[in-house]
Structure 1
Amino acid sequence: MGTRRLFKNLDFTLIGVTGIIIIFGLVVIGSASTDYGWWMRLGLDMDKLQHAGILQRLLWMKKEYVFKQFIWVLVGIIAAMAVIYIPYEDWRKYTRHLYVINLLMLGLVLVLGHTAMGAQRWINIGPFVFQPSEFAKLIIIVTLADFLAGREGKLRNLKELIPCFVFVGVPMVLILLQPDLGTSLVFIAVLFGMLFIAAGRPLLVCGIFGAGLAGAIGMVWAHLKFGTWIPLHDYQLKRLIIFLDPWSDIQGAGYHVIQSQIAIGSSGFWGKGLMRGTQSFLEFLPIRHTDFIFSVLAEEFGFLGVLLLLTLFAVFLYRGVRIAAESRDLFGTLMAVGVVSMFAFHILVNIGMTVAIMPVTGLPLPLVSYGGSNMITNLAAIGVLLNIYLRRQKTIF
């Protein structure tokens, strides 16, 4: 396919929405990483900030993280272009190799991984640090799509579905050992999203999911009441249940959620304005440029900004669903569903944890939160959607 024809047949709605979300994210990252102490060291004061126009505030914000994120966006665009160029049908020849590479990569983290914030999730290569579990999400989507497509019509009961659980369970366990509970839960969302389409028996898949969820809740309840063993660290369990009553541990596990609720609840319709959010700028809100960036966005841009972002995400997910529906084969459909499931789960959990309706799992907000590995993975995943869209009809070639 020629370059001109390739460009002509791209999904420009998906590309446009992605671009707007990324720009929105860069602005919020700049604001979230600008703190009162840094501002004062520049010899500026709050009076200047309050009377400064939007362009002045953009110029005065701290740009270190913005620059780094912009570099990762460029790397992600290159990755997406590479993904788009190779016909997705050809990937099926290499899915076994990809699966093995994925396991080796995740296993390497446990041996040579860099430890930070009590978790061993990163690998250092010279000046660069990357998180293999992020790339593992996209690899599992591609490899699982091939695995399920090869079993079309043979996923009619629980016994036939067990190999699918094992296929996803092995890399998922390696991620849990890091420990990275949030990413492992993404694997579950991807698995059931794709099984919902591949198995052709929605009630069976929903029943298994419901039974699993009930079992997990039962295990947590039994642990809290009787002290039974569960495969989670104490801090992970506390983060999972603290959203039910964050005020029970104001200075500990509930602090993040409480500050987030204050930030969002005080925003109003228009918001407080860029770099004028008290919870963010005065550093009450922790990890605000990553996990809790939605809280910063809501505080500074208000209900209107939140509505805009949610609308953009809704259009993004809709385009993903349409691409899945229009795919010319089951392999493409399953990959598109996997990508949509991954994004939808990230959006739901990240926003949900900031308003205390979901557990705090540390999942970033796609295309908005700061982070190189996550940004590259997200843009490569969008490249998968565009690849499927380009080749949705054989007549295009």
Structure 2
Amino acid sequence: MLNTVWNGVIRAFKAIDWPLMIILFLFACLGMTVMHSAVGHMEGRFEGQLRNFLIAFGVMWFVALWPPPKVMKIVIPIYIIGCALLLAVLLFGYTSKGATRWLDIGFLRIQPSEMMKLCVPMMLAWYFDKHRSDLKVLDFFVAGVLLLIPFFLIIKQPDLGTALLVFATGFFVIYFAGLSFKLLAPIFILGLIGIGLILYFEPVLCAPDFDWVILHNYQKTRVCTLLDPNLDPLGKGFHTIQGMIAIGSGGIYGKGYLQGTQTHLDFIPEQTTDFIFAVFAEEFGLYGSICLLILYTLLLIRCFMITMKAKTQFGALLAGALTMMFFFYVFVNMGMVMGILPIVGVPLPFMSYGGTALVTLGIASGLLMSISKYKPKKG
């Protein structure tokens, strides 16, 4: 009995990718330090985030024990369940602040769109692994359908931020599987032309009576206040303006820990969640922000190393997509806080408050560790 327990402990420790674990532990320490300053009068947030980290690390460790072949067996069921839950949200979901994104099951309220950030890349990685020996154009079309189904279901909620994250992680799997860059170049060029036209025709497009048709009114407002936050400085542009003021007031060296005036006078909106980078930048300044970026860079480098050393195509595709998911999180969050991207409600990885987001990141980290430690049996 004692030997069995001891062997289980040894196996659990061997499942951990320690370079990645050390980086995540540093993020946990830094995240809790910043959260202590950011919570202000919001009682329970610090303790809640500590609980979230403990749950996330526990889930990460559990997932790390699952080898990739075992993970592949549950991919199709969880993808189908995820899409079914998204459809259930549209039919009888819980509505809050004009969006229907949750399912209320009595004792718990869940947000199915969060699980699709992982379900979609897992499903696509499984699909391309199964067709790796004879990949055709039709396979990329099928993969596109598998991606677009949850994407449009999330868009309908509406939740543009999560939809973009789901699309990005799924798209990276398709690209890494062999999608030609020549097919993407025209889309990239059209995107640049579209951005140029929006900038040129901003006065017309942002007029109150102009209907964008494809976007909800609040999404149009986000884009227009990005172009000029002063259009509504006390309303929709308030978040962007206050975020930039906080970052600017931090200067090079920062105001010091617990000394951020924008934070402690409650000028920064959503200071424990989407805008926690503004809290960090105000108190630790440019040098502190550079150190934070270095830590994120180390995280991405380790994830890329895991991707390059993956023993299976499923592992390589999934690890590559999860790595880009981390990058996308950081880029979008910091970009919206600094006023160069629209506000879409994307948390800063391992820094922003949130149980669901941290558990999602914990599962992603566990999958990366599983891929890192997996060694196929010979013969």
TM-score by length of 2: 0.89
Q: Is the 8 A contact 1:327 1:392 kept in 2?
A: no
Residue 149 (str. 1) matches residue 129 (str. 2): yes
Q: Is the 8 A contact 1:326 1:392 kept in 2?
A: no
- What is the RMSD of the two structures over their aligned residues, measured on CA atoms? 2.6
Which residue does 1:41 correspond to in 2? Answer: none
CA distance change for structure 1 residues 242 and 196 in 2, over 3 Å: closer, same or farther? same
Deviation at 1:212, TM superposition (A): 6.6
CA distance change for structure 1 residues 175 and 218 in 2, over 3 Å: closer, same or farther? farther
Tell me the secondary structure at the aligned position of residue 123 of structure 1: strand
Deviation at 1:359, TM superposition (A): 1.6
Which residue does 1:70 correspond to in 2? Answer: 50
The worse-fitting range, judged by mean Cα deviation, of 270-279 and 335-344 is: 270-279
Partners of 1:124 and 1:260 in 2: CA distance = 33
Deviation at 1:196, TM superposition (A): 2.1
Q: 2:236 aligns with which of 248, 253, 256?
A: 253
Partners of 1:215 and 1:230 in 2: CA distance = 19
Which residue does 1:374 correspond to in 2? Answer: 357
The worse-fitting range, judged by mean Cα deviation, of 359-368 and 127-136 is: 127-136
Q: Is the 8 A contact 2:15 2:64 kept in 1?
A: no
Partners of 1:173 and 1:346 in 2: CA distance = 20
Residue 224 (str. 1) matches residue 205 (str. 2): yes
Deviations 1:10-49 (A, max 9, x none): 3211111111112211222232220xxx4xxxxxxxxxxx
Q: How does 1:163-174 map to 2 (within 5 A)?
A: 163-174=142-153
Which residue does 1:268 correspond to in 2? Answer: 251
CA distance change for structure 1 residues 145 and 358 in 2, over 3 Å: closer, same or farther? same
CA distance change for structure 1 residues 166 and 218 in 2, over 3 Å: closer, same or farther? farther
Which residue does 1:176 correspond to in 2? Answer: 155
Q: Is the 8 A contact 1:220 1:230 kept in 2?
A: no
Q: How does 1:345-356 map to 2 (within 5 A)?
A: 345-356=328-339
Q: How does 1:1-397 map to 2 (within 5 A)?
A: 3-8=9-14, 10-34=16-40, 38=41, 64-126=44-106, 128-152=108-132, 157=137, 160-199=139-178, 201-204=180-183, 206-207=184-185, 209-210=187-188, 213=191, 217=195, 224=205, 227=210, 229-392=212-375, 394=377
Tell me the secondary structure at the aligned position of residue 74 of structure 2: helix
Deviation at 1:155, TM superposition (A): 5.2
CA distance change for structure 1 residues 213 and 153 in 2, over 3 Å: closer, same or farther? farther
Q: Is the 8 A contact 1:193 1:341 kept in 2?
A: yes
CA distance change for structure 1 residues 209 and 5 in 2, over 3 Å: closer, same or farther? farther
Deviation at 1:242, TM superposition (A): 2.1
Deviation at 1:107, TM superposition (A): 1.9
Deviations 1:220-271 (A, max 9, x none): 6899289565332111122134222212221222110010000001102221
CA distance change for structure 1 residues 292 and 132 in 2, over 3 Å: closer, same or farther? same
CA distance change for structure 1 residues 336 and 297 in 2, over 3 Å: closer, same or farther? same
Partners of 1:75 and 1:245 in 2: CA distance = 41
Deviation at 1:82, TM superposition (A): 2.0
Q: Is the 8 A contact 2:15 2:369 kept in 1?
A: no
Partners of 2:375 and 2:259 in 1: CA distance = 46
Q: Which amino acid aligns with 1:236?
A: Q
CA distance change for structure 1 residues 389 and 208 in 2, over 3 Å: closer, same or farther? farther
Deviations 1:136-190 (A, max 9, x none): 1111121111112223265565x55222221111111111111100011112211
Percent identity over the alignment is: 35
Q: Is the 8 A contact 1:156 1:199 kept in 2?
A: no
Deviations 1:327-356 (A, max 9, x none): 011100011011111111110000001111
The gaps in structure 2 that reach 5 residues or longer are 1-6
Which residue does 1:55 correspond to in 2? Answer: none
Tell me the secondary structure at the aligned position of residue 31 of structure 1: helix
Q: Which amino acid aligns with 1:32?
A: A
Q: Which amino acid aligns with 2:321?
A: G
Q: Which amino acid aligns with 1:263?
A: A
CA distance change for structure 1 residues 12 and 245 in 2, over 3 Å: closer, same or farther? same
How many matched pairs? 368
Tell me the secondary structure at the aligned position of residue 266 of structure 1: helix
Q: Which amino acid aligns with 1:161?
A: F
CA distance change for structure 1 residues 66 and 124 in 2, over 3 Å: closer, same or farther? farther
Tell me the secondary structure at the aligned position of residue 358 of structure 1: coil
CA distance change for structure 1 residues 150 and 304 in 2, over 3 Å: closer, same or farther? same
Q: Is the 8 A contact 2:15 2:65 kept in 1?
A: no
Q: Is the 8 A contact 2:161 2:346 kept in 1?
A: yes
CA distance change for structure 1 residues 294 and 176 in 2, over 3 Å: closer, same or farther? same
Partners of 2:8 and 2:180 in 1: CA distance = 40
The gaps in structure 1 that reach 5 residues or longer are 39-61
Q: Is the 8 A contact 2:198 2:205 kept in 1?
A: yes
Partners of 2:29 and 2:105 in 1: CA distance = 28
CA distance change for structure 1 residues 90 and 182 in 2, over 3 Å: closer, same or farther? same
Partners of 1:351 and 1:225 in 2: CA distance = 24
